[in-house]
């Protein structure tokens, strides 16, 4: 029963309530503040391939990992015991409600090396300066200047460092060899459907990533959306490396 009530609350925020505010941070907070409690349960059924993305990224012993747009910090769970190999993991987000959930998780788990930080993903620089891993899970589509966020991830990474991304997307009309074309209905239906929640699907993430990083793995998929039985939303998983200079 509690799950159904949480789902209804989350659906109301997703479908009926429009984010308000004059800054990006205010709009994020107005969108998330009423659904932060039910966030993990609902998003587990909607944000596919996060665990696989996190588990596909190598964890360097003593390394620094920055998760940009980390929300409640669920990705830290997906690392499992490998989290202890990191010297630091920064969970960066602009929504204070979601970061409170992340902080509660860190305390409950007793992680000494995991630090939630309220900061913009396009400008966050940790005290270490450069890092070994940057990840984005379903956050690039919510960052208006996503290209700036990718450029910033590139500048944070050490040469040879890893980047892992999973996010919704739509393909270009002519996506090129090795990519899955999306029909007119897919390319037309999903952008406005997600756009009403300020989630902006782009046909340009994958080409930009392939141009900027060495591709280690790229997979284009589809996944279920709760309460939408007949459709599957497209998402991609990209694992890449910053080329040695």
Ligand X SMILES: C[S@@+](CC[C@H](N)C(=O)[O-])C[C@H]1O[C@@H](n2cnc3c(N)ncnc32)[C@H](O)[C@@H]1O
Binding residues for ligand X (CB under 6 A): 24, 28, 43, 47, 50, 69-71, 74, 92-95, 98, 120-122, 137-139, 142-143
CA distance 179 to 195: 24
Which residue, 137 or 202, is less far from ligand X as judged by CB? 137
Residue 92 or 131 with smaller CB distance to ligand X: 92
Residue placing its CB nearer to ligand X in the complex, 105 or 158: 105
Measuring CA to CA, how many Å separate 10 from each of 32, 36, 47, 91? 9, 9, 14, 23
Closest CA to 166 of 204, 132, 140: 140
Closest to ligand X by CB, 46 vs 218, is: 46
Q: How far is the CB of 109 from ligand X (least distance, A)?
A: 16
Closest CA to 54 of 44, 67, 42, 35: 67
* Nearer Cβ to ligand X (98/171): 98
CA angle 197, 202, 207 (to 5 degrees): 155
Q: What are phi and psi of 230, to 5 degrees?
A: -105, 0
Nearest distance from residue 218's CB to ligand X, in Å? 19
What's the min distance (Å) between Cβ of 165 and ligand X?
Answer: 10
CA distance 127 to 25: 23
């Amino acid at each position: 029963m509690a799950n159904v009530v949480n789902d209804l609350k989350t659906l109301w925020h997703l479908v009926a309530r429009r984010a308000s505010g004059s800054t990006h941070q205010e709009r994020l907070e107005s969108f998330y503040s009423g659904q932060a409690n039910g966030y993990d349960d609902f998003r587990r059924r909607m944000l596919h391939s996060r665990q696989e993305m996190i588990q596909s990224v190598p964890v360097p012993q003593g390394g620094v990992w920055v998760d940009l747009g980390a929300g409640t910090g669920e990705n830290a769970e997906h690392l499992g015991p490998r989290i202890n190999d990191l010297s630091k993991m920064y969970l960066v987000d602009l929504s204070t409600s979601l970061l409170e959930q992340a902080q509660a998780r860190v305390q409950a788990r007793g992680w000494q090396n995991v630090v939630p930080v309220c900061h913009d993903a396009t400008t966050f620089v940790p005290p270490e300066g450069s890092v070994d891993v940057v990840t984005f899970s379903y956050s690039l589509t919510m960052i208006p200047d996503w290209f700036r966020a990718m450029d910033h991830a590139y500048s944070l990474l050490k040469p040879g460092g890893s980047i892992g991304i999973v996010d919704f997307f739509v393909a270009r009309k002519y996506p090129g060899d090795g990519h899955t074309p999306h029909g007119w209905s897919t390319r037309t239906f999903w952008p406005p459907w997600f756009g009403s929640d300020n989630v902006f699907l782009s046909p340009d993430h994958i080409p930009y990533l392939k141009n900027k990083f060495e591709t280690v793995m790229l997979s284009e998929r589809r996944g279920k959306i709760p309460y939408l039985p007949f459709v599957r939303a497209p998402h991609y998983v990209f694992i890449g490396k910053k080329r040695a200079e």
